[in-house]
Chains A and B, each alone.
Chain A
């Protein structure tokens, strides 16, 4: 759980750096060339298959954990004890499930199109690449989709607001000196990375 979670945390940063190239104002050239690289480089291919596997493993373990814990809890209290743990920490399962649903949709919408869809192509310096920038800017011009995307990023932020520091504790890494720093980093990460992802559709909707 913690190892797959940390891998996904690392993945999200790389993914964000890639996506931020969408903001470069060159008609999508940088982004398309990057997308071409990502689908054709053998090393990236290996890592991406690992990534699909880790997402599924993390989701599978998460749902199993959620079910086990629900049955270990016993009857509900008439007066709830909820005042001493963060909301996110108690709802990692439901949050994860929403994120999983988002990932499935996201893969179908962009990844499947890139891999198997009949996308129109663009040619840069004689290299013919699929124009993924097209469907992305198309999707981000629709207000309902932009809202949906931003809301999903909020769920990821909540999942990570607990998950980041939780992963370290699960591995036994708790220390007077370092744990406050890990918690601070976790809070910063869980705000900044989802925010970075969310800025892209908003920017496209407003300025492209």
Chain B
């Protein structure tokens, strides 16, 4: 298949960028990233600078591949990361626009690569359990109701990709933060520090320059792991509770 790509090129953080047009020959079995690999091979053989884009596992679990494709974070397919998106989702002769995540808290490093260390800072602020809770068998020794375990697992599937921020008209990180808070809050090991964790992670989120959630719901539509905004409600609930009960 023959494709026309319009790709965001930007040499560095504080340089002006622009969309540039390229032609690529791909086939429908390729993933979107493999198609970009083909483009980069072409560019290198022409002695041009390849397009910088981030990727790691290429199996939908690490959250590194971050592209906005035709205006949608992770592209047109529901519940799929860019690396798991295949070219059969596109038509021969199609023009595809590829842009980086856009949010004040995700500054561009180069081309399509953004700096997501603001997410790391949120996790470092409280997204952990302070004591060693043992190995798998210790976890299995604690009875946890199946529904609760499933809810926690759903939240834990968040891969920290940042599509929620990229999709949000307010550049808010509430879906990510609420997923991290929820998966720990629902487990007995995580419950102990829940309220402090909520306070610290929310404060860090604001400090990093993310916007405020106004409940547009844009994030859950684009999340490759289909994290629900009911997690955001849980975070809000916990936040109100932690403010009221703190000393």
Contact = CB atoms under 8 A, between A and B. Distances in A.
Contact of A172 (B106, B171, B236): B236
A72 interface: yes
A109 interface: no
Interface stretch (B41-49, B52-60, B66-74, B184-192): B66-74
A89 B172 contact: no
Interface stretch (B27-35, B86-94, B137-145, B208-216): B208-216
B64 interface: no
A172 B234 contact: yes
A41 interface: no
Nearest to A165: B215
A75 interface: yes
B99 A78 contact: yes
Contact of B167 (A65, A78, A84, A166): A84
Nearest to B232: A169
A90 B232 CA distance: 18
Contacts of B72: 81, 83
B236 A171 contact: yes
Contact of A171 (B99, B103, B167, B237): B237
A92 B212 contact: no
Interface in B129-182: 166-167, 169-172
Interface residues of A, number: 31
Nearest to B241: A172
A164 to B, nearest CB: 11
B217 interface: yes
B68 A69 contact: no
Given A69-B171, A79-B71, A89-B217, A172 B233 contact: yes
A65 B172 CA distance: 12
A73 interface: yes
A174 interface: yes
A40 interface: no
Given A72-B104, A74-B102, A81 B211 contact: no
Given A170-B236, A172-B234, A89 B215 contact: yes
A145 B73 CA distance: 45
A185 to B, nearest CB: 16
B171 A84 contact: no
Given A69-B172, A71-B104, A172-B233, A77 B215 contact: no
Contacts of B236: 169-172
A173 interface: yes
A81 B233 CA distance: 23
Contact of A85 (B19, B218, B233, B235): B218
Contacts of A85: 169, 216-218, 221
Interface of A: 65, 68-69, 71-86, 89-90, 92, 162, 165-166, 169-174
